[in-house]
């Protein structure tokens, strides 16, 4: 029997920090010293030192995706299309809780939609298969919580005009800039500081002439008494769209998303097959002066090698080539490689890296970008 299909609507999010009630102050009839916080009865049902999501009731069933089960697909949208595993009382996240969570080898948990995904195991969490919150270059899949609009920043990006290439999305790493071919090239925004909550990445900019930028990677947080990672977590961004019109700029690659292991380092166990990555997608090639459409950028690399970049678009036409997405320890997306000729459009920049918090996990062949082990308070 597939245990993951059991109803789990037993929880509700109560914010990012543990709730308290006003202090006694000496006249409230509560038998506590003055200025001592009164902890509500359900405080022991809050989990995660950073996110601190709270359960209204502890779950009573486990989620196990067996090797003989189909992949587990979770739609994180609100409303009727949302997965029944998402808590209906939480608006910020799709929270899925269980007594224990196990995803076995060759199986995938795929999450897509408007809200980030939070997986809460009251007991152990074990990953031998894959968790996928990526976005796709063809635009059919939006990673869980991935932004569809340009991210706000103290210095906003510059949109491409005329036949110039778009910018790559900036998040944990800066995106690459587009190639200038008349008008204004796309210039990426600065990086964004580590978010105060769980959020997906930032999209790439459209090319001059209409080519769309790639969507960013989504976001997933994992909470458990112990967290064993012996499989793959992928929150990479999508490649940009190729310049579809004659002499048009390519679309920039989307940034990587966010992976948060919201447990102490002592609770994390890394297996030999453990891989985590939130790389940016490749920038697309500009449109040719004549002839067929141009090559899109590759999605952020989905192999077992996090240090492999999503390649920029290049199918040999007259449009300029796109820049690669981030990979390994290089958190920046590459600038467009240029080389447009014969009235071709400009190539686009690659997407920058996302954020990963996985204390104690290191190595470019294992994790990309590197883990931010210390988070802002």
Mean pLDDT of 335-345: 89
Split at pLDDT 50, 70, 90, the class of 375 is confident
Q: Is residue 325 classed as helix, strand or coil in its secondary structure?
A: coil
Contact yes or no for 240/321 (Cβ under 8 A):
no
Split at pLDDT 50, 70, 90, the class of 377 is low
41 pLDDT exceeds 50? no
- DSSP assignments along 165-203, one per residue: PPPPP-SSSPPPPPPPSSS---BPPPP-PPPSS-----P
Q: CA 11, CA 281: separation in Å to the nearest integer? A: 35
Contact yes or no for 300/216 (Cβ under 8 A):
no
Mean pLDDT of 48-69: 90
Q: What is the pLDDT of residue 179?
A: 97
**Helical segments of 116-263, H only:** none
39 pLDDT exceeds 80? no
Q: Structure pTM? A: 0.88
316 pLDDT exceeds 90? no
Q: CA 118, CA 145: separation in Å to the nearest integer? A: 11
Gyration radius from the chain CA atoms:
22
Q: CA 85, CA 235: separation in Å to the nearest integer? A: 20
Which tens digit of pLDDT belongs to each residue from 207-241?
998 899 999 999 999 999 999 999 999 999 999 99
8-22, 132-146, 340-354: range with lowest mean pLDDT: 8-22
More reliable by pLDDT, 302 or 65 = 65
Q: How far apart, in Å, do the first and last CA atoms of the chain sit?
A: 43
Q: What is the pLDDT of residue 269?
A: 98
Mean pLDDT of 344-357: 96
Q: CA 311, CA 327: separation in Å to the nearest integer? A: 10
Closest CA to 248 of 290, 214, 279, 301: 290
109 pLDDT exceeds 70? yes
Q: What is the pLDDT of residue 285?
A: 94
Q: Is residue 130 classed as helix, strand or coil in its secondary structure?
A: strand
Q: What is the pLDDT of residue 130?
A: 96
Q: What is the pLDDT of residue 58?
A: 86
Contact yes or no for 354/195 (Cβ under 8 A):
no
Mean pLDDT of 247-261: 96
Q: What is the pLDDT of residue 307?
A: 84
Give Dmax (Cα) for the chain: 83
Q: Is 92 exposed, middle or buried (0-12, 13-18, 19+ CB in 10 A)?
A: middle
Cα 352 to Cα 88, 204, 272, 278, distances in angstroms: 33, 9, 27, 9
Q: What is the pLDDT of residue 89?
A: 73
Task: Give the number of other CB atoms < 10 A from CB of residue 91.
Answer: 11
Q: What is the pLDDT of residue 302?
A: 63
Q: What is the pLDDT of residue 348?
A: 97
38 pLDDT exceeds 50? no
Mean pLDDT of 308-330: 89
Q: Is residue 265 classed as helix, strand or coil in its secondary structure?
A: helix
- Percent pLDDT > 90 in the chain is 67
Closest CA to 4 of 65, 74, 88: 65
Q: Is residue 239 classed as helix, strand or coil in its secondary structure?
A: coil
Q: Is 19 exposed, middle or buried (0-12, 13-18, 19+ CB in 10 A)?
A: middle
Q: What is the pLDDT of residue 90?
A: 82
- Exposure of 306 in the CB half-sphere (CA atoms within 13 A): 31
Split at pLDDT 50, 70, 90, the class of 10 is very low
Cα 44 to Cα 119, 320, 336, 338, distances in angstroms: 18, 57, 51, 56
Q: What's the mean per-residue pLDDT of the chain?
A: 86
Q: What is the pLDDT of residue 32?
A: 33
Contact yes or no for 122/58 (Cβ under 8 A):
yes
Mean pLDDT of 357-364: 95
More reliable by pLDDT, 308 or 43 = 308
22 pLDDT exceeds 70? no
| Cα of 24 vs its chain's centroid, Å | 42
107 in the Ramachandran plot: left (φ > 0), alpha (ψ -120 to 50) or beta?
A: beta
**Contact partners, residue 101, CB within 8 Å, separation at least 6:** 62, 63, 64, 119, 121, 124, 125, 126, 224
């Amino acid at each position: 029997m597939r245990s993951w299909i059991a109803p789990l609507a037993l929880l509700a999010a109560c914010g990012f920090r543990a709730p308290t009630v006003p202090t006694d102050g000496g006249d409230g009839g509560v038998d506590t010293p003055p200025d001592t916080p009164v902890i509500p009865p359900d405080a022991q049902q809050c989990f995660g030192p950073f996110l601190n999501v709270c359960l209204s009731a502890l779950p009573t069933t486990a989620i196990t995706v067996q090797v003989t089960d189909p992949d587990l697909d979770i739609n994180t949208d609100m409303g009727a299309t949302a997965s029944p595993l998402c808590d209906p009382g939480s608006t910020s996240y799709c929270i899925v809780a269980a007594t224990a969570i196990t995803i076995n080898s060759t199986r995938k948990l795929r999450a897509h939609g408007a809200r980030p995904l939070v997986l809460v195991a009251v007991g152990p969490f074990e990953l031998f298969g894959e968790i996928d919150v990526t976005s796709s270059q063809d635009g059919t899949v939006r990673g869980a919580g991935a932004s569809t609009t340009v991210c706000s920043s103290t210095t906003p990006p510059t949109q491409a005009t005329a036949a110039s290439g778009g910018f790559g999305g900036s998040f944990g790493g800066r995106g690459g800039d587009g190639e200038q071919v008349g008008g204004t090239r796309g210039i990426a925004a600065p990086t964004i500081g580590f978010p105060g909550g769980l959020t997906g990445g930032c999209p790439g900019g459209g090319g001059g002439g209409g080519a769309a930028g790639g969507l960013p990677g989504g976001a997933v947080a994992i909470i458990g008494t112990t967290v064993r990672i012996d499989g793959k977590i992928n929150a990479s961004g999508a490649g940009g769209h190729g310049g579809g019109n004659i002499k048009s700029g390519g679309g920039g690659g989307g940034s990587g998303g966010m992976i948060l292991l919201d447990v102490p380092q002592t609770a994390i166990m890394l297996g030999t097959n453990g891989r985590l990555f939130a790389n940016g997608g490749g920038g697309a090639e500009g449109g040719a002066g004549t002839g067929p459409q141009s090559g899109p950028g590759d999605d952020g690399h989905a192999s077992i090698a996090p240090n492999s970049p999503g390649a920029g678009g290049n199918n040999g036409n007259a449009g300029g080539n796109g820049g690669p997405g981030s990979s390994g320890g290089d958190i920046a997306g590459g600038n467009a490689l240029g080389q447009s000729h014969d009235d071709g459009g400009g190539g686009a920049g690659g997407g920058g890296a996302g954020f990963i918090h996985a204390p104690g996990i290191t190595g470019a062949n294992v994790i990309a970008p590197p883990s931010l082990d210390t988070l802002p308070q």
